[in-house]
């Protein structure tokens, strides 16, 4: 597994992909937070809060993380190296975990520099350093779990096809549905009073919950179960490829 993980990390940083991912995430979020006018602009809001960043990050990740994961298995299939990986003395689980952790590590490396936004917000406050530390730490934890969920979806999507563009589109679609679908259904109240609680099945509900700074075991179980589900689906897909 460590060999696969190391191979993934090297493939990201041997090309501009890794640096582009980190740079794009920081530049896009920075532009929305400090340059472009709108609901995410901190300077226009009049409040020294980092909340707009965490409200915007899921949207950026919906496109950024599928771009990271789209080549995980699709490229192996296209180059014909998938068969070699499956014949090596390496379990399917370790293969998937190596791919998954490699992509997730790049996501984490993209998140870490965003701490500079927290420093800026802290300095902008009327009383420097006066911000909700618990909510900020909870929001970062939620963002890490969100990245983990999106990465699991991306790895699964990449296992479905040998076309990276198709893998990207499928991953974007599934990430969007996973985050916004249940919240949208509950907002429409299609089923009347029974809509209450439907949003609990969506990522957005648990992301907002943990972002309040209170770590609820139910949120942790949800995120870990979601990740495990898509990794299990990926294992099922790769196992079928090996059998065929």
Q: What does the pLDDT read at residue 18? A: 82
* Owning domain of residue 192: 2-243
Q: Considering its fold, how many domains does the chain have in total?
A: 1
Q: What does the pLDDT read at residue 46? A: 65
**How far apart (Å, rounded) are the C-alpha atoms in residues 153 and 145?**
12
Question: What does the DSSP assignment read for 194-211?
Answer: GGTTGGGGSHHHHHHHHT
Q: Sign of torsion, CA 225 240 97 146?
A: negative
Q: What does the pLDDT read at residue 96? A: 92
Structure tokens at 177: 């549905």
Provide the residue count of the chain: 244
Structure tokens at 14: 């041997």
Does this model's pTM top 0.75? My answer is yes
**How far apart (Å, rounded) are the C-alpha atoms in residues 165 and 168?**
5
Q: What does the pLDDT read at residue 101? A: 94
Q: What does the pLDDT read at residue 11? A: 81
Separation of first and last alpha carbons in the chain: 23
Contacts of 152 (CB under 8 A, 6+ apart): 100, 226, 227, 229, 230, 231, 234
pLDDT string in tens for the chain (244-residue length): 777 888 888 888 887 888 888 898 999 998 888 888 877 787 776 666 788 889 899 999 999 999 999 988 888 888 878 877 777 777 888 889 999 999 999 999 999 998 888 888 777 665 655 566 778 888 999 999 999 999 999 999 999 998 999 999 999 999 999 998 877 776 666 555 545 567 778 899 899 888 887 788 999 999 999 999 999 999 999 888 776 6
Q: What does the pLDDT read at residue 240? A: 85
**How far apart (Å, rounded) are the C-alpha atoms in residues 74 and 162?**
4
C-beta separation of 4 from 95 below 8 A: yes
Q: Which residue in 233, 9, 225, 230 sits closest to 99, CA to CA?
A: 9
**How far apart (Å, rounded) are the C-alpha atoms in residues 66 and 164?**
10
């Amino acid at each position: 597994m460590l060999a696969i993980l190391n191979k993934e990390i090297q493939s990201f940083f041997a090309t501009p992909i890794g640096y582009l991912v980190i740079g794009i995430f920081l530049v896009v979020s920075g532009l929305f937070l400090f340059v472009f006018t709108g609901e995410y602009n901190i300077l226009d809001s009049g409040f020294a809060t980092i909340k707009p960043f965490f409200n915007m990050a899921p949207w950026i990740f919906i496109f950024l993380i599928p771009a990271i994961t789209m080549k995980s298995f699709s490229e192996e299939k296209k180059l014909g190296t998938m068969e070699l990986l499956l014949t090596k003395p390496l379990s399917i689980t370790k293969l998937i975990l190596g791919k998954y952790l490699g992509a997730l590590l790049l996501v984490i490396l993209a998140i870490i520099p965003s701490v500079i936004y927290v420093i800026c917000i802290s300095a902008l406050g009327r009383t420097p350093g006066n911000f909700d530390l618990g909510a900020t730490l909870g929001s970062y934890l939620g963002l890490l779990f969100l990245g983990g969920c999106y990465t699991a979806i991306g790895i699964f999507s990449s296992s479905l096809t040998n076309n990276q563009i198709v893998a990207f589109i499928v991953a974007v679609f599934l990430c969007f549905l996973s985050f916004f679908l249940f919240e949208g259904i509950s907002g429409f109240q299609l089923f009347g009073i029974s809509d209450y609680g439907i949003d609990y099945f969506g990522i957005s509900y648990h992301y907002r919950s943990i972002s309040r700074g209170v770590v609820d075991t139910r949120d942790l179980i949800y995120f870990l179960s979601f990740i495990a589900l898509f990794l299990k689906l990926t294992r099922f897909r790769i196992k079928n490829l090996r059998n065929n």
